[in-house]
């Protein structure tokens, strides 16, 4: 059993299973017994500490801590200090109105991020589209404070400046740009075509930056699946584009998935079925959530 604890001014509350699912990656675990502290919001006096937790990587540990700070420790917004601990095998005491009351308070206080998920492929059975569908479900079922929309980009025309009249684009383009502008962060599934991104995804980036840039100053994550390098080369080209349109990509963890490596990762309809891969995907989403909150000024 995993639980998280937050405390302020002698008052303590617990929430079970806050971290469940975020501590397993690649079928192995690393145990740490050292105590480390990450300051997440110095101006608000917010800090987070992890002690004797089981974390697979330093990145996983940081993502978990930031996730707890954004959610559970957010209960004590404007408080002096908040602590979050991942502890195994200890039953939490019934303080702060009990478990249900604590979880309800934390959920109410947490900022809900609007995420736009975009795949660089259109075919329904594409594994990259499967990654976006899986990410939508993971956000819905196991990441409080994060809502993802699987954005349909099939109706976007190829970029043509003649289509923009007096600063107004075609209706489908305007609707797309509105979604991008209103999002808090982005999730890209980028297949690799000829060592680069697809023309479809390049077109998406271009329409989001013309006639004005609506991508700017937002956090984003990239995942990809394919053969050999797992689509990795496309990710580096997408990162280059992100520099120009001011998208801030998380650097770690990275996600490249070779679809030929056993066991099978997707079913015949392109739906992600592999549990380990879902855990990796969840870690990416937690890191994106933490980074987006930092950029938004809610968690530093």
pTM (two decimals): 0.66
DSSP secondary structure of 12-72? EEEEETSSTTSS-BTTB--B----EEEEEETTTTEEEEE-S-B-SSHHHHHHHHHHHHHTT
Q: Which residue has the tokens 């300051």?
A: 39
- By residue count, the chain amounts to 300
pLDDT tens-digit profile, the chain (300 residues): 333 333 333 333 333 333 333 333 233 333 322 223 333 333 343 333 433 344 444 444 444 444 444 443 333 332 322 333 333 343 333 333 333 333 333 343 468 999 999 999 999 999 999 999 999 999 999 999 999 999 999 999 999 999 999 989 999 999 999 999 999 999 999 999 999 999 999 999 999 999 999 999 999 999 999 888 778 899 999 999 999 999 999 999 999 999 888 999 999 999 999 999 999 999 999 999 999 999 988 554
């Amino acid at each position: 059993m995993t639980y998280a604890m937050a405390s302020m001014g002698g008052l303590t509350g617990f929430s079970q299973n806050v971290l469940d699912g975020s501590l397993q990656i690649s079928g192995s675990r690393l145990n740490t017994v050292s105590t480390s502290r990450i300051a997440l919001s110095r101006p608000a006096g917010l800090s987070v500490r992890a002690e004797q937790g089981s974390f697979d990587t330093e990145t996983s540990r940081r993502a978990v801590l930031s996730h707890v700070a954004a959610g559970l420790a957010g209960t004590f917004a404007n408080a002096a200090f908040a602590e979050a601990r991942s502890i195994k095998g200890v039953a939490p005491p019934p303080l702060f109105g009990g478990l249900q009351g604590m979880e309800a308070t934390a959920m109410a206080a947490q900022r809900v991020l609007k995420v736009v998920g975009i795949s660089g492929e259109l075919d329904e059975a594409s594994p990259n589209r499967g990654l976006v569908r899986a990410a939508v479900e993971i956000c819905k079922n196991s990441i409080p404070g994060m809502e993802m929309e699987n954005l349909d980009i099939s109706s976007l025309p190829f970029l043509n400046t003649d289509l923009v009249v007096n600063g107004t684009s075609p209706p489908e383009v305007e609707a797309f740009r509105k979604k991008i502008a209103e999002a808090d962060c982005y999730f890209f599934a980028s297949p690799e075509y000829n060592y680069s991104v697809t023309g479809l995804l390049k077109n998406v980036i271009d329409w989001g930056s013309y006639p004005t840039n609506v991508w700017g100053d937002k956090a984003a994550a990239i995942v990809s699946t394919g053969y050999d390098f797992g689509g990795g080369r496309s990710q580096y080209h997408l990162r280059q584009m992100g520099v120009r349109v001011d998208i801030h990509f998380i650097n770690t963890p990275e996600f490249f998935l070779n679809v030929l490596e056993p066991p099978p990762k997707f079913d015949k309809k392109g739906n992600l079925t592999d549990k380990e891969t879902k855990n990796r995907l969840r870690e990416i989403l937690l890191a994106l959530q933490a980074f987006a909150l930092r950029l938004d000024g809610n968690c530093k």
